[in-house]
A and B are shown apart, each in its own frame.
Chain A
């Protein structure tokens, strides 16, 4: 297994345990007490580490290269998967995959970001960062699902839409916007699972659902911690400091009303035990889909509208229009400015 930076102390203990075990095997000397005590120390350390993860450590887990990706979840959760390709407009974008699969006896349309497992696959899949074709393919499949009344499950795991020249030429902004608008009206259940990285508009473009589940060590953010750090501290390297103010982990997102549920992962992260992760997720997906399927298409669409309509926190002070303006500037100066500026509005 691959250790992350913050897992170094665990790695050290693992090495010591391995050395002791090798020594015992080689020499036949009984040091099982020592080995047991090392194991106990290791378990304690693992608990201490993973019950107290910082938000930035979570993000490192969300990006772990051995984490299950969309096609892995499809294999672990479903049978008879048939993948579909292409947006029927320009091309095929392997950064997003999708198709019909059998989930617990029901046909569902699955759409998700797909990262590569190695360099070669990552080049092909562009690290799971879609171009407009990917978003348009995703919508095409979701519209197909609507025509045949199949529920939709989407898996989000992308640092974001790809910031490249081709994407801009072919309407990256329009592709995302159009998905947001169309998904809000699809007359079938849409269940969204953020499995790893929920990176901004490129994540939301397949994320306008009735319910949103977040894996315990996944994150969902308006921009990457690196981009946030670049703006906040003018230094992309300070992502660890930026991330705590961003409020992007499960507890924060539940509180903000952006997600409905956090799906537990095995201790150490989803990559430690794919099957256990998938079993947890299966339970959550089936329960939520079952709930959603009791709603009529009209109810689904109306409730989905309300879900997003209610998001946001702001202040509305009634009956005090323009008071602020008067407070900020001495009246004389305001008069002066008005006289000089041909655009200034009559105070309305």
Chain B
């Protein structure tokens, strides 16, 4: 049985491999179609496979670079890092591994910059950092980004890739970040400062069930896995397999949960148009 590879029924999540220890080859295999692709083409194509259009996950900084005007990014709150408040088994190692793998200190990178000349506040998740999960540090950075939007009146854009949801290793402190960030969105709404939420693969659990689904406008990348409960948990609970495409961006659009799906290469222009509309 085992040598027949069953095609996945729903989108699977591949944690990006650490890249630097193998000498960079010119060619690579696509995770999805398994075709050989020219790495430079793939990278200059925003990590979209030129053969099958498969989207690989972008790091926080690759995303920022793809959206902001060159040289305009000014990072904020880069000195905020997670501690291990519960002395939770394996968490310190997990943090160390993620820091090494991504070169980031946390699962979200925040700052300000311009998009087609419009100043915005931007937060960008790194899925490779403990699944893009939200602990105290991530919650604090997101809240500060929203509060900076509140103070400056600049639109806030958050690009989520929080497959891990609320970070289990920080226990209830992580759950409370959902309330903290959502309360910050509430203030932004009262003031009338725009908040655009971009959902990328994968956005689940406590990240989805807080700020990520509270955008004035919600945009998703194609074929991203987005939802509350993980597909495996649902299958175990209901005792049946989920239909193809369940919890994808296309599914959410059909069910009225998001405003639009944007191709990765169109995202910058789409965001800048929205910001132009919403800017007061």
Contact = CB atoms under 8 A, between A and B. Distances in A.
Contacts of A245: 86-89
B52 to A, nearest CB: 21
Contact of B90 (A232, A258, A324, A346): A232
Nearest to A304: B183
A245 B169 CA distance: 9
A163 B83 CA distance: 31
Interface in B169-217: 170-180, 182-187, 189-190, 205-206, 208-214
Nearest to B63: A343
Sorting the interface of chain A by its residue count into under 10, 10 to 19, 20 to 34 or 35 or more gives 35 or more
A258 B176 contact: yes
A163 B77 CA distance: 35
A315 interface: yes
A173 interface: yes
Contacts of A325: 103
A314 B142 CA distance: 13
Interface stretch (B66-74, B114-122, B265-273): B66-74
Contact of A174 (B82, B167, B257): B257
B38 interface: no
| Chain B interface category by residue count | 35 or more
B9 interface: no
Given A184-B186, A345-B64, A314 B136 contact: yes
A168 B228 contact: yes
A286 interface: no
A170 B176 contact: no
Contacts of A205: 209
B2 interface: no
A308 B24 contact: no
Given A180-B210, A314-B82, A328-B99, 11 more contacts: A165-B234, A176-B178, A177-B178, A177-B182, A184-B182, A185-B186, A208-B179, A248-B171, A305-B187, A316-B77, A345-B64
A248 B86 CA distance: 10
B65 interface: yes
B50 interface: no
Contacts of A174: 209, 213, 257
Contacts of A324: 99, 105
A167 interface: yes
Nearest to B180: A308
